[in-house]
Each structure stands twice: as structure tokens, then as C-alpha cells.
Amino acid sequence: MMDNRVVKFKKAIQIGDNKYDIKESITGMYKCDMYESDNFDEDNDTPIETSNVCAICLFMEDEPYNFGDAIAPSSYDADCDECGNDSLIYLILGV
């Protein structure tokens, strides 16, 4: 089961990079910021919602734009806010 999720993680990360041009995350997690306006400025505007979502939820189970306006690779290594499963790092380490 764990091996399948690791394979899925790697595939999802590649989809994010190739299809959506969102850089790879070594943890398999992405920070998703949602802003009130479509004309947001990441440097000056405060997001109305921030979540940490795994690559599988973000790129394979749904579409990235449903999770946020600004999506970036994250060093966050805990569980996914969407599915509750572990990050890639914890799967590999077996913690």
C-alpha cells in the first residue's frame, strides 16, 4: 500500500511540473493561498485561506485552481489538509 502511494506521489509531482508548470516539491506538499480578488499581489495582499495539500490531491484528484490562486512547493512535511495522509518524506522514512 505504501509503495503504491509513493509511486502515485512521484507521478503527481511530475504532472504538476509538466502540465501546470508548478515546480517539484521534495516533500510532495504544496502551499496553496487563496485571495479574495483575482487581482492579488502576493507580496502585499494577505490570503483569505492557506492550506497545505499533497501532490496527489492537487494534481491527480482535482485541479490545482480549486485549492488556491498561488500554489508553490512547500517544505511542509506533515499531513495533507485535504486527505489527511502523510507527506512523501514520512512515507519514505516509514515514520
DSSP 38: T
- Domain boundaries defined on the chain: 2-90
In angstroms, the CA 9 to CA 25 distance is 10
pTM of the model: 0.87
Q: Amino acid letter at 68? A: G
Retrieve residue 95's grid coordinates: 515514520
Q: Does the pLDDT at position 1 exceed 60?
A: no
- Is 70 exceeded by the pLDDT of residue 2? no
Tell me how far apart the alpha carbons of residues 15 and 30 are, in angstroms, rounded to a whole number: 13
All residues at 6 or more sequence positions from 94 whose CB lies less than 8 Å from its CB, including other chains: 2
On whether the CB atoms of residues 67 and 32 are closer than 8 A, the answer is yes
Average pLDDT, the chain: 90
